[in-house]
């Protein structure tokens, strides 16, 4: 009797070990097989230095199934955007509310003893999509203002700004080429973080207009306009998974 065909292992493939999804990656700069948790995606990444070592990466993951289960169990549970919940927006508590009629979603400023409120219409997924549109608009407003501030401080032309729904990056910068303006994209979940974190990411991306790398010269630019970046990076590392869980 012929055996079952072997699973073809390739860069980017996902295999299940127990109930855990394991994404395989090839990184030629890696010196050995390794495992890491991708908190944003809720999966474990097994990295191998070459395609030929992917089988070793799977075996290594199988040998660490207890560790994998514990790491995935510790990840924050998804927090859907639904009426009645309270989230942080721009550093302030924001209550999610459903409108009694169909309206364009909006943020209602806090006043008296009422907190900041996000008002949107729709049920279940439709409400969540409407709430995300409101949060994206708020993110765009804030990052545009902070980008303009840092672009001016560094004597750089204002780049095009957009927001994105990314699982891997808080921002990205493409320098202007061939007469086209530079472009910076920001993760919309930055509006859920404290304002100084959004501010750091804006400084980080605008600095790339001068240095398209993470060299000492680049970090000197960041320090010159923002100050010590290490607390902000540590905050994102510690709390990034919780931000990605919101609306996940």
> What are 130-166's pLDDT values in tens digits?
999 999 999 999 999 999 999 999 999 999 999 998 7
Residue 117 has pLDDT above 60, yes or no: yes
Q: Residue 52: what are its φ and ψ, rounded to 5°?
A: -65, -20
Give residue 237's domain range: 86-245
DSSP 196-210: HHHHHHHHHHHHTTT
How far is Cα 189 from Cα 173, in angstroms, rounded to an integer? 17
Whether residue 102 is found in the same domain as residue 66: no
Whether residue 58 is found in the same domain as residue 128: no
Tokens representing 218 are 């680049």
170-214 tens-digit pLDDT: 999 999 887 788 999 999 999 999 999 999 999 999 999 999 999
How far is Cα 15 from Cα 12, in angstroms, rounded to an integer? 10
Three-state DSSP state, 106:
strand
Whether residue 66 is found in the same domain as residue 96: no
- From the list 27, 41, 26, 6, the residue with the least C-alpha distance to 248 is 41
Q: Are 208 and 225 in contact (CB under 8 A)?
A: no
**Whole-Å CA distances, 190 to 140, 170, 229:** 10, 7, 16
Q: Residue 121: what are its φ and ψ, rounded to 5°?
A: -110, 170
A 10 A CB-CB count for 218 gives: 16
Q: Are 158 and 202 in contact (CB under 8 A)?
A: no
Three-state DSSP state, 17:
strand
Tokens representing 222 are 């960041």
Whether residue 36 is found in the same domain as residue 157: no
Which residues have a Cβ under 8 Å from the Cβ of 240 and sit 6 or more positions away? 39, 40, 170
pLDDT grade, residue 3 (50/70/90)? very low
**Straight-line distance from the first to the last Cα atom of the chain, in angstroms, rounded to the nearest whole number:** 45
Tokens representing 101 are 């009629």
Whether residue 68 is found in the same domain as residue 96: no
In percent, the amount of the chain with pLDDT more than 70 equals 96
Whether residue 34 is found in the same domain as residue 116: no
Three-state DSSP state, 164:
strand
Q: Are 133 and 105 in contact (CB under 8 A)?
A: yes
pLDDT grade, residue 7 (50/70/90)? low
Q: Which residues in 60-87 are b (16+ Cβ under 10 Å) and which e?
A: bbeebeeebeebbeebeeeebbebeeeb
- Number of domains, the chain: 2
Whether residue 137 is found in the same domain as residue 90: yes
Pairing of strands 43-48, 92-98: unpaired
Whether residue 21 is found in the same domain as residue 69: yes
Whole-number mean pLDDT of the chain? 90
Q: Whole-prediction pTM value?
A: 0.80
Q: What's the CATH code of the domain at 193?
A: 3.30.2010.10
Whether residue 115 is found in the same domain as residue 228: yes
Whether residue 119 is found in the same domain as residue 228: yes
Looking at the domain assignment, is residue 177 inside a domain? Answer: yes
Whether residue 100 is found in the same domain as residue 211: yes
Whether residue 56 is found in the same domain as residue 132: no
Residue 101 has pLDDT above 70, yes or no: yes
């Amino acid at each position: 009797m012929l055996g079952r065909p072997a699973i073809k292992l390739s860069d980017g493939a996902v295999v299940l070990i127990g109930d855990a999804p394991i994404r395989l990656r090839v990184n030629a700069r890696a010196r050995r097989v390794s495992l890491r948790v991708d908190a944003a995606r809720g999966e474990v990444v097994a990295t191998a230095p070459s395609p030929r070592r992917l089988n070793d990466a799977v075996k290594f993951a199988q040998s660490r199934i207890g560790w994998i289960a514990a790491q995935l169990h510790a990840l924050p549970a998804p927090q859907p955007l639904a009426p009645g919940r309270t989230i942080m927006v721009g550093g302030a508590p924001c209550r999610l509310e459903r409108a009694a009629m169909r309206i364009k979603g909006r943020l209602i400023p806090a006043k008296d003893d009422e907190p900041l409120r996000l008002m949107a219409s729709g049920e279940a997924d439709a409400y969540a999509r409407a709430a995300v549109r409101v949060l994206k608009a708020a993110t765009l407003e804030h990052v545009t203002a902070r980008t303009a501030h840092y672009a001016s401080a560094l004597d750089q032309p204002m780049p095009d700004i957009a927001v994105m729904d990314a699982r891997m990056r808080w921002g990205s910068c493409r320098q202007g080429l061939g007469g086209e303006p530079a472009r910076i994209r920001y993760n919309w979940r930055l509006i859920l973080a404290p304002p100084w974190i959004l501010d750091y990411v804006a400084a980080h991306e605008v600095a790339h207009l001068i240095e398209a790398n993470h060299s000492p010269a680049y970090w000197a630019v960041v320090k010159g306009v923002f100050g010590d970046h290490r607390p902000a990076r540590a905050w994102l590392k510690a709390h990034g998974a919780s931000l990605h869980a919101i609306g996940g």
